[in-house]
């Protein structure tokens, strides 16, 4: 019989630790919760609601597996009360109003959630001043988009013309001044870093107005998807990619005070951007359409203005953390398409399926000798 090989994930730093996730009921937050549970962490979550119906949070039955708080990060007092009750070893702050379109409709709410919400979390940590490693999730949109072709570096100017992007730039500035004023001081027990990643896809996202969820909803109902900008491209990446970066950053920051106050871009592996049409064509293969023409219909060919597309330079994550993304394009498509296909045809044990995908992701990362996974 062969020897059982076990893996050490993220130096085992999360096992039996109290990890607080804000926005744990969301798309990224639910995947992060599932992964941390797999690593034996005690997960605590703060979210104001379950943002979609269905939701990955409910499909995985996560509420029963963690300590769940329904609370609004705009409420400083409540945030402080919960954080002081939990006394977390790690915090991953993801709670946000994350939709650009929504930020045009409700600008003040977006700013309150994304800027003051971040302030309230940091303020609670400052007052508590217990040993804690906090990773604040902002966005690639935090940069002032000057519409050049090159990748943005962590030292480039922050900005953002729409309110969502501006609020993420502002959240970065809040972190920066909290670091310089408080967390950099010798008396502080708190360490923080921010992570800037772009659009993600993967199973279990049901947000409105995102191309992959829109498409999966349509296919599950036997509807054909209409696409207006087939040639538009995005730097597609699987949700587990930035999560592996957040978790590695948490591990590294916990071990190394020199990373305190730093910011990291986390972007996809591939240099190539794929078009919407290519993505849909490839995803449709996972759904086994007898006739691929019945998957989508092109109803326009808007000459797509690539402005707004912003590329990240991820050299710093490679050099300082030894982090890169893991999945190639084909695996990204398979992971995403298979997850939804299993959910809809017929419904399976999605907790097991999700854990299986995480396990496969870990195995692929190990083959590539990623820093965060090693033989025990
Ligand atoms: N999904 C992406 O492609 C993407 C890209 C870049 C950055 N991000 C960032 O990653 C984070 C997570 O994004 P997501 O796609 O999982 O979003 P999501 O909409 O799926 O989840 C958002 C979460 O935040 C919570 N939330 C919202 N407002 C809140 C409030 N006022 N108080 C408490 N909780 C609140 C929701 O309940 C939910 O749990 C966000 O900070 C987002 O800006 C996401």
- Per residue in 91-142, pLDDT tens? 999 999 999 899 999 999 999 999 999 999 999 999 999 999 999 999 999 9
User: Of the residues 24, 28, 83, which should be mutated to test ligand 1's pocket, given the most ligand atoms within 8 Å of the CB?
Assistant: 28
How much is the average pLDDT of 156-185?
A: 97
CA 171 to chain centre: 16
What proportion of the chain, given as a percentage, has pLDDT over 90?
78
Cα angle: 91, vertex 96, 97; to 5 degrees:
175
Q: Which atom of ligand 1 is nearest to the CA of 141?
A: 6
Q: Where on the phi/psi map is residue 222: left (φ > 0), alpha (ψ -120 to 50), or beta?
A: left
Residues 261-305: tens digit of each pLDDT: 999 999 987 666 788 889 999 999 888 887 777 888 888 766 545
Cα–Cα distance between 316 and 311 in angstroms, integer?
14
Cα–Cα distance between 4 and 333 in angstroms, integer?
30
Task: Kindly report the protein residue whose alpha carbon is nearest to atom 23 of ligand 1.
Answer: 23
Residues 25-37: tens digit of each pLDDT: 999 999 999 999 9
pLDDT of 236 strictly over 90: no
Cα–Cα distance between 22 and 45 in angstroms, integer?
6
Which residue is associated with the tokens 């909290």?
178
Task: Kindly report the protein residue whose alpha carbon is nearest to atom 4 of ligand 1.
Answer: 199
- Which residue(s) pair with 92 in the sheet? 21, 135
**Which of 358, 347, 361 is closest to 59 using CA atoms?**
347
| Distance from the alpha carbon of residue 197 to the mean position of ligand 1, in angstroms | 13
Cα–Cα distance between 143 and 111 in angstroms, integer?
16
Buried b (16+ CB within 10 A) or exposed e, 189-206: ebbbbbbbbbbbbbbbbb
Q: Where are the beta strands (DSSP E) in the chain?
A: 7-9, 18-22, 42-47, 67-70, 90-93, 132-137, 190-197, 225-227, 233-234, 263-266, 274-275, 296-298, 373-375
Cα–Cα distance between 22 and 91 in angstroms, integer?
8
Q: Which atom of ligand 1 is nearest to the CA of 22?
A: 34
Cβ of 29 closer than 6 Å to ligand 1, yes or no, is yes
Cis peptide before 54 (omega within 30 of 0): yes
Classified as helix, coil or strand, 41 is: coil
* Six-digit token string for 112: 């309150």
User: Of the residues 95, 134, 206, which should be mutated to test ligand 1's pocket, given the most ligand atoms within 8 Å of the CB?
Assistant: 95
The DSSP code for 151 is P
Secondary element (H or E) of residue 125: helix 117-128
Task: Kindly report the protein residue whose alpha carbon is nearest to atom 19 of ligand 1.
Answer: 26
Cβ of 74 closer than 6 Å to ligand 1, yes or no, is yes
Cβ of 73 closer than 6 Å to ligand 1, yes or no, is yes
How much is the average pLDDT of 29-58?
A: 97
Cβ of 89 closer than 6 Å to ligand 1, yes or no, is no
Q: What is the pLDDT of residue 5?
A: 64
Cα–Cα distance between 311 and 140 in angstroms, integer?
8
Task: Kindly report the protein residue whose alpha carbon is nearest to atom 11 of ligand 1.
Answer: 94
Q: Which atom of ligand 1 is nearest to the CA of 205?
A: 20
| Distance from the alpha carbon of residue 367 to the mean position of ligand 1, in angstroms | 31
**Least confident interval from 182-191, 224-233, 249-258, 301-310:** 301-310
* Other beta carbons less than 10 A from residue 230's beta carbon: 19
Cβ of 311 closer than 6 Å to ligand 1, yes or no, is no
| Distance from the alpha carbon of residue 235 to the mean position of ligand 1, in angstroms | 19
Cβ of 94 closer than 6 Å to ligand 1, yes or no, is yes
CA 285 to chain centre: 26
Q: What is the pLDDT of residue 294?
A: 80
| Distance from the alpha carbon of residue 28 to the mean position of ligand 1, in angstroms | 7
Q: What is the pLDDT of residue 306?
A: 46
Cβ of 117 closer than 6 Å to ligand 1, yes or no, is yes
| Distance from the alpha carbon of residue 56 to the mean position of ligand 1, in angstroms | 13
**pLDDT bucket at 1, cuts 50 / 70 / 90:** very low
Q: Rounded to two decimals, what is the model's pTM?
A: 0.96
Cα–Cα distance between 217 and 50 in angstroms, integer?
18
The dihedral built from the CA positions of residue 113, 118, 121 and 127, taken in this order, carries a sign that is: negative
What rounded mean pLDDT belongs to the chain?
A: 93
| Distance from the alpha carbon of residue 279 to the mean position of ligand 1, in angstroms | 24
Q: What is the pLDDT of residue 346?
A: 77
Classified as helix, coil or strand, 224 is: coil
Q: What is the pLDDT of residue 3?
A: 57
């Amino acid at each position: 019989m062969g020897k059982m090989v076990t893996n050490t994930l993220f130096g085992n730093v999360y096992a039996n630790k109290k990890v607080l996730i804000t926005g744990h009921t969301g798309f990224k937050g639910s995947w992060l919760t599932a992964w941390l549970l797999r690593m034996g962490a005690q997960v605590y979550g703060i979210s104001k609601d379950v943002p979609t119906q269905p939701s990955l949070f409910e499909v995985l039955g996560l509420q029963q597996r963690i300590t769940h708080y329904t609370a609004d990060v705009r409420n400083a007092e409540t945030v402080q009360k919960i954080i002081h009750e939990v006394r977390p070893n790690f915090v991953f702050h993801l709670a946000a109003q994350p939709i650009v379109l929504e930020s045009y409709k409700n600008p003040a709410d977006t700013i309150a959630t994304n800027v003051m919400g971040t302030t309230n979390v940091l303020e609670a940590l400052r007052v508590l001043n217990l040993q804690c490693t906090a990773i604040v999730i902002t966005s690639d949109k935090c940069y002032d988009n000057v519409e050049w072709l090159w990748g943005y570096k962590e030292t480039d100017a922050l900005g953002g013309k729409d309110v969502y992007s501006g609020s993420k730039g502002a959240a970065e500035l809040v972190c920066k001044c909290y670091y310089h004023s408080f967390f950099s001081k010798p008396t502080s027990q708190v360490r923080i870093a921010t992570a800037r990643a772009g659009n993600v896809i993967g199973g279990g996202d049901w947000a409105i107005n995102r191309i992959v969820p829109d498409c999966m909803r349509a296919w599950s109902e036997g509807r054909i998807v209409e696409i207006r900008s087939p040639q538009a491209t995005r730097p597609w990446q699987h949700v587990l990619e930035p999560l592996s970066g957040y978790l590695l950053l948490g591990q590294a920051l916990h071990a190394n005070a020199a990373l305190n106050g730093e910011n990291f871009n986390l972007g996809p592996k591939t240099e190539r951007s794929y078009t919407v049409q290519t993505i849909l064509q490839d995803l449709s293969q996972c759904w086994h359409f007898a006739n691929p023409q019945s998957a989508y219909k092109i109803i326009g060919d808007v000459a797509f203005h690539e402005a707004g597309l912003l590329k990240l330079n991820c050299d710093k994550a490679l050099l300082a953390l030894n982090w890169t993304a893991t999945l190639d394009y084909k695996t990204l498509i398979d992971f995403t398409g298979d997850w939804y296909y299993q959910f809809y045809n017929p419904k399976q044990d999605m907790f097991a399926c999700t854990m299986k995908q995480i396990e496969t992701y870990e195995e692929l990362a190990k083959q590539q000798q990623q820093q965060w996974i090693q033989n025990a």
